[in-house]
Chains A and B, each alone.
Chain A
């Protein structure tokens, strides 16, 4: 009887594991099936390198270069902002903060992680957007910068908690050794601890970036969605994700526009896949 129970549970768990992988494969197959049909009509180079996105015009133009650059600009901005702040915050929590403040901060970070992105987008729209407009004297506050700052906030919880774990995993004797040799706490932190925790921090940053590039709702609300190749941070941009979200509702099923949105999905999937694999690579290095 006990044997049977053991056997059943084991198989159930195995099944759950397989289901997850099966779903990923199915999603990818579906994306490929719907997306690849698009390339019968439009050349890959025109798709990736085209500068104009007019999907419903006659003739339509499916250039996603402005969208890719828009996504990258917003992501890069968010990464710079979020990674710098998050690593400092992780250091404070892991190394300096007294226990009570540490618990308080950790709860705060969890709350930040649980705010729905549409709410963050809305808050950004009414507070950050007018602020960007008046501070930088730009024609409109709906810019890549506004999107980058808001997305930075969204990536921070991920980066902070994983970096903090990485810092906490650095063996005590590393720090003790350093201090025994006469280094100050600050010297220990930026010469010893950060090097020992580097793979973990890199992995955390990569996961944060993965979250940012896939984010949709907040970006759609505050980046202006103009499909133009961005030259500065203070210009409106349109991201890959916002394009799919904004246009999926309209699209005539089976049309070139419909397939083009799936192709954008494939591009996004590839980008996040590469980012996650890189993060995984660094995380494995921590374990060994």
Chain B
């Protein structure tokens, strides 16, 4: 499905020379993932510079907010970090929409600890044990004798859901593990970053773009036998780093006019260069 869309896009993107001749004008409303707000903003600025007649407004609120807006008809593009739920497809169908998905970038999720924490490599199993609360002391995973403070995003975050499904539940449908009730739910990635920077007990997760020298990203391995990989861009693209996810945009139905021009721009080499500039990982240009 995705391939067909991309193929279509590629086919159409060969023509836009003719389309771009007409001066584009109009407004585009973009809503959704907090993770992607900066990315959306950067695209919007570059796009409006190239087409002064187009205004692009970007707001956050969470992937769920993006889908809600898409279904409610209050945005033209939803930026999201999770795929659409069946319930949402059904709701959109009732309104006469048939949402279309585009993969626009990749995001590696870094697991971060305080730089003084001696733990610098963990397996997915160990991460699952830590975040579900089965392991409560750093010494159980080779660290100091200190309690573990779990930091997570709020439930309105696509990052929260992705981490639960792919780390806590290891992508399997028969595991029903939850974040430990002791987990601190922080309102933003920035809040997690600040708490990790100031607290040796803390462990959190967020997109690689938010990692600074004040936090340490641990190397992650699929299991004890495989190699430990730190979240570096080449390893995220190649898939060697085990926790990365696609960043997506949805349109209510097949895009036309300015919205289509915008999505073409996002998927163009220029748009993908912006992805790199705001510390996400470009999808391999196909």
Question: Which A residues fall within an 8 A CB radius of B?
Answer: 52-58, 66, 125-126, 130, 133, 139-142, 220-221, 224-228, 236, 238, 246-247, 249-253, 255
Interface residue from B61, B68, B85, B178 paired with A54 (Cβ < 8 Å): B178
Within 8 A of A (CB), among B197-233: 198-199, 201-202
What are 22 sample pairs from A and B whose C-beta atoms fall under 8 A apart?
A54-B178, A56-B161, A57-B178, A130-B198, A140-B184, A140-B202, A220-B187, A225-B154, A225-B184, A225-B186, A226-B184, A246-B154, A246-B155, A247-B154, A247-B155, A249-B62, A250-B64, A250-B154, A250-B156, A251-B64, A252-B87, A253-B91
0/1 interface trace, chain B 61-86, chain A, CB 8 Å (1 if under): 11111011000100000000000010
Q: CB-CB < 8 A to B181: which residues of A?
A: 52-53, 66, 226-228
Enumerate chain A residues within 8 angstroms of B87, measured Cβ to Cβ: 252, 255
Known: A139-B201, A246-B155. A253 touches B68 (CB 8 A): yes
B-to-A contact residues, CB < 8 Å: 61-65, 67-68, 72, 85, 87-88, 91, 146-149, 154-157, 161, 176, 178, 181-187, 191, 194-195, 198-199, 201-202
How distant is the Cα of A23 from the Cα of B87 in the complex, in angstroms?
34
Q: Is the interface of A mostly helix, strand, loop or mixed?
A: loop
Contact partner, B201, options A125, A126, A140, Cβ 8 Å: A140
**A252:B199 contact, CB within 8 angstroms:** no
Cα distance A52–B55 in the bound complex, in angstroms: 45
Which residues of the other chain, A, contact B64 by a CB distance below 8 angstroms? 249-252
Given contacts A140-B195, A142-B195, contact A246 B61 (CB under 8 A): no
Report yes or no: B185 in contact with A140, Cβ–Cβ below 8 A: no
A235 to B, closest residue via Cβ: B182
B221 to A: closest C-beta gap in Å: 26
Given the complex of chains A and B, what is the CA–CA distance between A126 and B185 in angstroms? 17
